[in-house]
Amino acid sequence: MKIIGPFTQILPLTGLPEKGPISDEQLTIIPNGGVLVDAGDIVTCGDFEELRKAHPTAEIDKIDEPMVLLPGFVDCHTHICFAGTRSRDYAMRIAGKSYLDIARAGGGIWDSVTKTRAATDTELMENTVARANRHLREGVTTIEVKSGYGLDMASELKMLRAIRTADQYTPAALVTTCLAAHIRPKDFDGDEKAYLRWILNDLLPVLKEERLTERVDIFVEETAFSFEASRPFLAAAKAMGFQLTVHADQFTSGGSAVAVEAGALSADHLEASNAEDIRRLAASDTVAVVLPGASMGLGMKYAPARQLLDAGACVAIASDWNPGSAPMGDLLMQAAVMSAAERLSAAEVFAALTIRASKALGIRSSAADLQAYPCSDYREILYQQGKLKPSFVWKNGERI
């Protein structure tokens, strides 16, 4: 047993509503708090001195400065397993070049596919570990990581195996997702339906066999996969036992309806969601994952997070960290900046980065994944818009 503390404030973020708006008044704030940890799990949080009296033999992980303790963040949507950069795309985009201009110049997702296919498994693994460790230092203790820059048997397997191995080399917990349905690869001989059939019939059984992932994602969009092709693909993946998530409503509406209909755990992006999409998401169990980093990277508007919450949706915030649309990958900074534009309360932001993001991954954990910020009032964290970073991070009760 171990007691970590004392903290000026602990925000356990438990007991908050799963869906809809949350006001800061609904937050439980424990002053002079401590956390009792046993075998890597949180046993309880409470007054530090009382915990000490109740558990006199417990080891003390002593905190000597004013600190605010939060649960570790969960980044429920990333593409951090990739090789190369797309800085040329970015330069073209900020200089006003169109999506088509960039694609014609050899940019876009296909460029990252080419570079990722050419990378060794070690290189991919090391890139993933380095990015996961950066995230971990910034308080992100659980990270979803997608494939989707392989798009053939060997390269999708290479990516998913690299993520699995990376999970052993970073203290952060990695959750893998197969995004072979990212785009139809240029070298695939056949239409989108044939490609999705290939994923279902050839790739997914191998992923099951090797236990490489339990999650399947698809990019539903005019430039990626159509609604007609996506619906049966998702139903078949679900019938095989995979959990579903969807890249939905990024540029055009429609994908979120497909996600809800398929019973997906989450529908992610939602920049182009309309009133009907918002209502449908709010009425469903599908988590609405908004990705401010993609809005920032593409210079586009944010997803309607405020409207989603007011309609009653479960809103999570993720980084979408990827080489193309969201290269920055600073989850807290993105969430903080978006919260000012969308008018999200601190309680809504912190829930979106923790309990609601866990729901998007279908996980529930009592692990002592914690982060302590060098301040005395939790409101300082979003106020500093991501520049205030945690001084200490714990994964399974161990200080990193």
Q: Which of residues 111-140 bind ligand NIG (CB under 6 A)?
A: 112
CB of 159 to ligand NIG, least distance (A): 13
Q: SS3 sequence, the chain? A: CEEEEEEEEECCCCCCCCCCCCCHHHCCCEEEEEEEEECCEEEEEEEHHHHHHHCCCCEEEECCCCCEEEECEEECCCCCCCCCCCHHHHHHHHCCCCHHHHHHCCCCHHHHHHHHHHCCHHHHHHHHHHHHHHHHHCCEEEEEEECCCCCCHHHHHHHHHHHHHHHHHCCCEEEEEEEEECCCCCCCCCCHHHHHHHHHHHHHHHHHHCCCCCEEEEEECCCCECHHHHHHHHHHHHHCCCEEEEEECCCCCCHHHHHHHHCCCEEEECCCCCHHHHHHHHHCCCEEEECHHHHHHHCCCCCCHHHHHHHCCCEEECCCCCCCCCCCCCHHHHHHHHHHHHCCCHHHHHHHCCHHHHHHHCCCCCECCEEEECCCCCHHHHHCCCCCCCCEEEECCEEC
Which of 109/305 has CB closer to ligand NIG? Answer: 109
CB of 79 to Fe ion, least distance (A): 6
Q: Which of residues 298-317 bind Fe ion (CB under 5 A)?
A: none
Cis peptide before 6 (omega within 30 of 0): yes
Interaction of residue 324 with ligand NIG, rule CB under 6 A: yes
Which of 10/74 has CB closer to Fe ion? Answer: 74
Q: Which of residues 236-295 bind ligand NIG (CB under 6 A)?
A: 247, 250, 294
Residue 325's binding partner among Fe ion, ligand NIG, none (Cβ under 5 to 8 angstroms by kind) is: ligand NIG
Q: Which of residues 369-398 bind ligand NIG (CB under 6 A)?
A: none
Which of 170/322 has CB closer to ligand NIG? Answer: 322
Interaction of residue 221 with Fe ion, rule CB under 5 A: no
Interaction of residue 320 with Fe ion, rule CB under 5 A: yes
CB of 56 to Fe ion, least distance (A): 49
Which of 116/141 has CB closer to ligand NIG? Answer: 116
Among 90, 219, 373, 394, binds ligand NIG (CB under 6 A): 219
Which of 13/179 has CB closer to ligand NIG? Answer: 179
Q: Which of residues 14-73 bind ligand NIG (CB under 6 A)?
A: none
Interface region with ligand NIG, contact rule CB under 6 A, candidates 32-40, 238-246, 323-331, 364-372: 323-331
Interaction of residue 322 with ligand NIG, rule CB under 6 A: yes
Which of 5/324 has CB closer to ligand NIG? Answer: 324
- For the chain, what is the radius of gyration of the CA atoms? 21
Residue with CB nearest ligand NIG? 324
Residue 309's binding partner among ligand NIG, Fe ion, none (Cβ under 5 to 8 angstroms by kind) is: none
Residues that bind ligand NIG (CB under 6 A): 79, 109, 112, 219, 247, 250, 294, 320, 322-326
Residues that bind Fe ion (CB under 5 A): 320
